[in-house]
Chain A
């Protein structure tokens, strides 16, 4: 039987990953977007006390297997986060549930290395020079999706007609999904980005800037965070998230500062968290420390309930808040979180940020 590879839904990374696999000549299966059903499956197949990303990902894997995937790319790898261990358990459970699938771990701590390894596994002995083109395509895709998304996150705050940006964004994503190779991408790139940029902004509208820090899975999964980014955008907030597929940051900074963002973030964060405790904790606190220096009006820290590395980051944020006086909203998400509670807290936080800004003049 032919190999049919599935990649779990994870922001636009899955879109880029699938296009890449197709460019390699591999057949792909697109699992349905994370939904209530995904959660129900995940809860059934996971230990009770494990965090919600582990549960949702397991649901994604099952749904991918149901769609006929023969190979599933699993996120995990030995960091210090629970995902490092849960993948082994999840792979075994898939077998126990009767899904005869091959599982491949994408180690989040060693993405380039594992990208190479998985490419070799999927490309079935094709010579290396034939792989150069698909890899260039993947990098181009990640760059493009990054740019699209960061533009959208900022543009929503100033849209004149509600939903205009999201319609343009959806149209742009369709174009991205249809790209076949690097040549097409280079030709259409500007047009695609233009789709979102063409939405007429309201230049006079006062907007706030809020930085999103915390666990990347939570930030990238609208089902889990109740569409937080869109809701913030429609409240007139420009959203800057720390996590980007290519590691770039989208703040309007001179390019010199933008280049060494990662290194500067590590240095800024080491004041609050010296040791690498796994997950995204150190990156979170580093970015938060940089953003707190006047780049944003406030920070929102997002984490799954009881995320081990992020509870460490949350403690470090307490110190940041104390020293820098930057407002921080902590939001944690699990299967019990409802949209109403999130909306109320977001509205209160945004109101408070406006009050702070008015007082500071």
Chain B
């Protein structure tokens, strides 16, 4: 039995968790290859035109798996904390996919609602695992392995030993940030930061410009009282980073992202109040590399100049 995992959206958050889980059940996970232009074009054929670029890429990654796998893993992430709320597209992901592609393999589509503590994750993993094993001991094993992997991943990311880009590589991948570089917070959702195709190798470029990029998962425990499920990745991370004395802020958002449209306003406020310069990168399928490079260089030059003054 081969289970397909699109390398998009929640892959960049939960892949090690699911990998540990399905590994214990003796199932093979097949991750779609890194994003390329062909996948983007395949995605554009299926996605609603107005949706955001990460969604369009998600469709492309699904296309790359159709025909090669027996089932597809597409979780619906509802809530991470009580009172919080997730983007409509991420909640409706399995429904969206079923509606737009008639030739899909069966979906494994557990609802993830972490608002009732970790127990929810357990029961959901059981929900996802029950079709594959009748043995409660195996299931228990798998759930515990998944939970360990979840915590170990967070810890490793906080210590800078792992980034979401390296989730499906055995050794993980070290963050390219030089340790003694200019500290700049790069805030955004992991699927925007760690897919080099979507952001034109932003993190590598920053490293080459001598910038020590602080990304949300490096910044430590996140407050759980936010309205949007992943608000901490933008506003919370920016706040923590400012406390640590970063010299600049870079916000990476996708064009048409519902929550980010509003959260950007909060980041602009933070930047105004603290006097730390902010650059906003809005990503869509038309964004060219040259424009990005020029803006990055200018921004980093400006930060150096401010530092020297």
Contacts and interface: CB of A to CB of B under 8 A. Distances in A.
Interface string A238-267: 000000000000000000000000000000
A281 interface: yes
A272 B98 CA distance: 8
Given A306-B50, A312-B96, A318-B99, A80 B91 contact: yes
Nearest to A49: B261
Interface string A274-311: 11111101000000000000000000000001101101
B264 A47 contact: yes
B258 interface: yes
Contact of B91 (A277, A311, A314): A277
A123 interface: no
B88 A85 contact: no
A129 B57 CA distance: 58
Interface string B264-288: 1110000000000000001000000
A81 B48 contact: no
Contacts of B92: 273, 275, 277, 281, 312
A360 interface: no
A322 interface: yes
A79 interface: yes
A315 interface: yes
B136 interface: no
Nearest to A314: B48
Interface stretch (B79-87, B122-130, B185-193, B294-302): B79-87
Contacts of B96: 312, 315-316
Contacts, number: 106
A274 to B, nearest CB: 5
B170 interface: no
Nearest to A78: B85
Interface residues of A, number: 36
B82 to A, nearest CB: 11
B262 A89 contact: yes
**Main SS class of interface, A:** loop
Contacts of B94: 274-275
B88 A86 contact: no
A80 B85 contact: yes
Interface in B230-280: 253, 255-262, 264-266
B155 interface: no
Contact of A318 (B78, B87, B100, B262): B100
Interface centre among B78, B98, B255, B262 (most CB of A within 10 A): B262
B265 A89 contact: yes
Interface centre among B98, B227, B228 (most CB of A within 10 A): B98
B76 interface: yes
Contacts of B78: 275
B102 A78 contact: no
A86 B262 contact: yes
A80 B262 contact: no
Contacts of A79: 85
A47 B50 contact: no
A80 B265 contact: no
30 contacts: A47-B261, A47-B265, A49-B257, A49-B261, A49-B264, A50-B262, A78-B83, A79-B85, A80-B91, A84-B227, A85-B227, A85-B228, A89-B266, A273-B99, A274-B95, A278-B85, A281-B88, A305-B50, A306-B50, A306-B258, A308-B87, A308-B88, A308-B89, A311-B48, A311-B50, A312-B95, A315-B51, A315-B100, A316-B99, A332-B50
Closest 3 CB pairs between A and B?
A308-B258, A49-B261, A319-B99
Interface of B: 47-48, 50-51, 76, 78, 83, 85-89, 91-92, 94-96, 98-100, 102, 111, 227-228, 253, 255-262, 264-266, 282
Given A49-B255, A80-B85, A272-B95, 18 more contacts: A47-B265, A48-B264, A51-B258, A82-B258, A82-B262, A86-B262, A275-B78, A275-B92, A277-B88, A277-B89, A306-B258, A308-B87, A308-B88, A308-B258, A311-B48, A311-B51, A311-B89, A319-B100
